[in-house]
Chains A and B, each alone.
Chain A
Amino acid sequence: MEKRQKLGRGLEEVSHYYLSGVDDSTNPKLKEDQPEGLLKRSISVYCPGSAQMRAFFLTNFALELIRNRVNVLIWDQGADPEYRPASTMKNLIRKDEGSKADIVRLYGLPEIQILGHEGVTYGYIKECIDSNGLSKQGYCLLINTRNDLESIPEGSDVPTDFILLTKVGKYPLLQCYAYIKVICKNHPCATIYIVLDEVQDQGLEIDLYSRFVQHVENKLSVGLKTLGGIVHDEYLFRSIKDNDPLMLFPNQSLAKDSITTIGKEFFRLNNNGN
């Protein structure tokens, strides 16, 4: 019997176009017969230098995840109203009756559930994941953190991996080192992913970053996973200024491509069981 598509062909094409012009056929995550539980991750996102950049990255990374058919939940612990998902995705959010979560739903793609209301705890989120069957489908829980060192929880309370955004410079890297030290203490088994915020001078900065990675490995005994770098272009600045998700811009953009590349590396690392 011929397999019946869940959506009309027109809507599938529109949804792919709407999110990105990237060729989806090369992306392994788009296979319909995705193995169960291939991706079940909880990731806390920190950007020591900039709450604004953290908000920008979390929003666009979440959109990239759902473009790759990953169910996404965002646990919004953010303190600053300007940098919470409710602001950065304000034009996409809808409220469903009976649900306390804010929902982002784009045609043909998994939802983003944003949980930031009073009473949200890790236990509550685990219940949401189980009751929605996400444990079997796979999911990624992104934690929009308060961004300060004190907000890094104990591992026993909230088991999570981490994405740290950092510029490549002596002060940002020292901040990053401080965060990694606290993470290692509270979450000895966590995976720490690094996203570089704007690498300009390829030679010098890559050399500096390499020494940083080696030093972290030597002193803190942790191997960092580098996902890539965010390129800054006109569209990124416009996205930040207007609180409009970059991944939904129809224009070709180096910044958008860099987020896609970061997503691909994230999937590669997770598909290989790292």
Chain B
Amino acid sequence: MNESGKITHICAQYFKEELGFRIIEHNLGNNFTGSIDLLVTDTRKVYLVTINTSSLADALFKAFMGYRWYLENLDFLSRIYPSDDVVFDVPAELIILSKNFPLDTNTMLHNVCMVPVRLYKYMIFGSEDNPDIYIEALDPYYTEEKIKRQDFDGLRKDLNIEPAELSDDEIREFYAVLRV
């Protein structure tokens, strides 16, 4: 198993043991038409997992191509996986793992992509014989919607800052000063 395959295997264990996801398949598709490192599900959604092992830009494009492959091959997947095991008429979501992400990647992807994208940072450590992984989810993008809708009550609640009694104007001014 090559380096990339080992990392995929360790990540699969994480999704299964820590998040309770079911692993449908490893390494679907191909480099020409699109590929998915891991296809997993929690029954409410199907997640197309891409793991960045070199260039984030390549991994992002791979994730988008993988999503296209998934849409084009939905019928095929529904035929080969029994509906007792997995249901494909649930929403799909992309998951991208990388060692690093530039600032605000979550927001950029939310603004650009039609399909939801979840980002996780990871680090592999330990030895070759006994590797271990640390995975951390990035802040979700959903609070961006609340800023746009001026739903500052929702934002204060999400961030647990209600006792500070920041007014709507204070929050608007804060974001204006930070230019975000």
Contact = CB atoms under 8 A, between A and B. Distances in A.
Given A175-B161, A201-B102, A170 B178 contact: yes
A182 interface: yes
Contacts of B162: 149
A91 interface: no
Contacts of B174: 174, 177, 215
B83 to A, nearest CB: 38
Given A237-B125, A241-B134, A178 B159 contact: yes
B31 to A, nearest CB: 29
A168 B139 CA distance: 12
B112 to A, nearest CB: 18
A171 B103 contact: no
B74 interface: no
A154 to B, nearest CB: 13
Given A178-B166, A181-B166, A211-B177, A149 B134 contact: no
A48 B161 CA distance: 9
B57 to A, nearest CB: 15
10 contacts: A149-B161, A149-B164, A150-B163, A169-B104, A173-B178, A174-B155, A211-B177, A215-B174, A219-B173, A237-B134
B134 A212 contact: no
Nearest to B147: A170
A174 B159 contact: yes
Residue with the highest number of chain A CB atoms closer than 10 Å, among B100, B102, B178: B178
Given A171-B139, A175-B159, A182 B164 contact: yes
B164 A179 contact: yes
Interface residues of A, number: 33
Interface in B80-124: 100, 102-104, 123
Interface in B145-180: 155, 159-164, 166, 170-171, 173-175, 177-180
A178 B166 CA distance: 7
A234 interface: yes
B164 A205 contact: no
A237 B121 CA distance: 12
A200 interface: yes
Contact of A211 (B160, B164, B179): B179
Contacts of B166: 174, 177-178, 181
B163 A182 contact: yes
B103 A201 contact: yes
B178 A211 contact: yes
Nearest to A205: B103
Contact of A237 (B123, B139, B161): B123
Contacts of A204: 102-103
Contacts of A175: 159-161
A139 B160 CA distance: 33
A212 B178 contact: yes
B161 A174 contact: yes
Given A178-B166, A237-B134, A208 B139 contact: no
Interface in A218-238: 219, 232, 234, 237-238
B72 interface: no
Given A200-B100, A205-B103, A148 B160 contact: yes
Given A149-B163, A238-B134, 12 more contacts: A149-B160, A169-B139, A170-B104, A174-B175, A175-B160, A175-B161, A181-B166, A182-B163, A208-B178, A215-B177, A234-B123, A234-B125
Contacts of B143: 171
Nearest to A232: B123
B132 interface: yes
Nearest to A181: B164
A150 B164 CA distance: 9
A238 B124 CA distance: 10
Contact of A174 (B134, B163, B171): B171
A36 to B, nearest CB: 39
A185 B164 CA distance: 10
Interface string A172-208: 1111011101100000000000000000110011001
A262 to B, nearest CB: 21
